[in-house]
Amino acid sequence: MHRILVAVIVVVLGTGAAKGQFRHGGGMTESAPDHCAMIPLSLKLALTAPGPSPETYEDESPGPYEKKSPMLAGVLSIALPGAGQYYAKSYWAAAGFFAAEAFLWIAYAVKTGEADKKTEEFQRFADDHFSVVRYARWIENNATYYSLTNVSGMYDLTKGSAPWEQIDWGRLNEVEAQIGLVAGSGFSHRLPVRPEQQYFELIGKYPQFGGGWDDAGSFGPADVVSDRVSAKFLAYRQMRGDANSLYNFATGTSFIIVANHVLGALHAAWSTSRWNRSIEATVHLKRISFLSESVEYVPYVSVRLLL
């Protein structure tokens, strides 16, 4: 018996509003789905022979077009904004998210470095011009104003060389608490131990510590309530404010960095889903049997563009 080789190429353009039917040899009919616009391309190579054909034809099917994982894209962009977009072949978006990430980290590093320098600067200024021993002596000198009879034991000049080493911090806080019980004294806080962050904050924030600055001069109990502090107190307050502003900027930048990761992950997942919906291709062999006992193995290449 003779074998007949038939090659037929059929190109059909269809839309999602109409159903098309394609008839191939042997009376078989297929319908185009109506849920999307598509361009199906079928390449038919029919080998017709009496009796069974070799089964090896079926093993040559490459399978469906590989889709991308939206979850993987999201994970990639959570780790590094732009990576998920690159995976989804959205290259401009990848460049945008990555550039934003780089810029934000540079801004964070620069502002944090500037804030650290400002912090070191105002802490040196405090150690040079504020003395906790001077502050304790100011309390002793104004004890009668606050009706205190015993304020001794707050410091010992024989201990250490730095003022904060000569202070009995527990005793100092006890006396501060007693003054705080006096109505209208203005003593609302207890000085933390140096070098705690709160120590450096309070001495330039609340007037009750104004007597500890070396330019306090005639600073008295009435000045505590009226907030009439010395020039160095005010200069120190400004220095701390500048440092805090830089830290706040860096903190805000860190929040934007987190947002860039989250938005990047969502965008990457969406871009990947859009990629998966935009194109689908399949290649397969189709085995067709006829009543005449002949068999056809038809390779199909189908490309669908979903618009």
pLDDT of residue 284: 58
Please check whether residue 177 lies inside any domain of the structure.
Answer: no
Tokens of 235: 């200069």
Q: Are 243 and 115 in contact (CB under 8 A)?
A: yes
Beta bridge partner(s), residue 299: 285
- Looking at the 3D structure of the chain, how many domains does it have? 1
Please check whether residue 20 lies inside any domain of the structure.
Answer: yes
**pTM for the structure as a whole:** 0.66
Q: What is the mean pLDDT of residues 271-293?
A: 68
- Fill in the amino acid letter for 248: N
Please check whether residue 141 lies inside any domain of the structure.
Answer: no
Please check whether residue 28 lies inside any domain of the structure.
Answer: yes
Of 10-24, 26-40, 97-111, the poorest mean pLDDT is in: 10-24
Chain-centroid distance of CA 168 in Å reads 45
Please check whether residue 73 lies inside any domain of the structure.
Answer: no
Q: Are 27 and 290 in contact (CB under 8 A)?
A: no
Of 53-62, 182-191, 222-231, the poorest mean pLDDT is in: 53-62
pLDDT of residue 276: 83
Q: What is the mean pLDDT of residues 42-53?
A: 41
Q: What is the mean pLDDT of residues 67-73?
A: 91
HEC string for the chain: CCCEEEEEEEECCCCCCCCCEEEECCCEEEECCCCCCCCCEEEEEEEEEECCCCHHHHHHCCEECCCCCHHHHHHHHHHCCCHHHHHCCCHHHHHHHHHHHHHHHHHHHHHHHHHHHHHHHHHHHHHHHECHHHHHHHHHHCCHHHCCCCCCCCECCCCCCCHHHCECHHHHHHHHHHHHCCCCCCCCCCCCCCCCHHHHHHCCCCHHHHHHECCCCCCCHHHHHHCCCCHHHHHHHHHHHHHHHHHHHHHHHHHHHHHHHHHHHHHHHHHHHHHHHHEEEEEEEEEEECCCCEEEEEEEEEEEECC
- Fill in the amino acid letter for 80: L
Check whether 61 has a pLDDT greater than 60: no
State how far the Cα of 187 lies from the Cα of 101, in Å rounded to an integer: 47
Check whether 33 has a pLDDT greater than 60: no
Peptide bond into 54 cis (omega under 30): no
Please check whether residue 41 lies inside any domain of the structure.
Answer: yes
Check whether 6 has a pLDDT greater than 90: no
State how far the Cα of 274 lies from the Cα of 307, in Å rounded to an integer: 10
Please check whether residue 282 lies inside any domain of the structure.
Answer: yes
Check whether 131 has a pLDDT greater than 50: yes
* Residue 167 DSSP label: B
- Mean per-residue pLDDT over the chain, rounded: 80
Reported as a single tens digit per residue, the pLDDT across 164-184 is 999 999 999 999 999 999 999
Please check whether residue 48 lies inside any domain of the structure.
Answer: yes
Find the domain containing 14 and state its range: 4-67+278-305
- Which is nearest to 148 in space by CA: 158, 140, 157, 156? 140
Check whether 232 has a pLDDT greater than 60: yes
Residue 286 binned pLDDT confidence (cut-offs 50, 70, 90): low
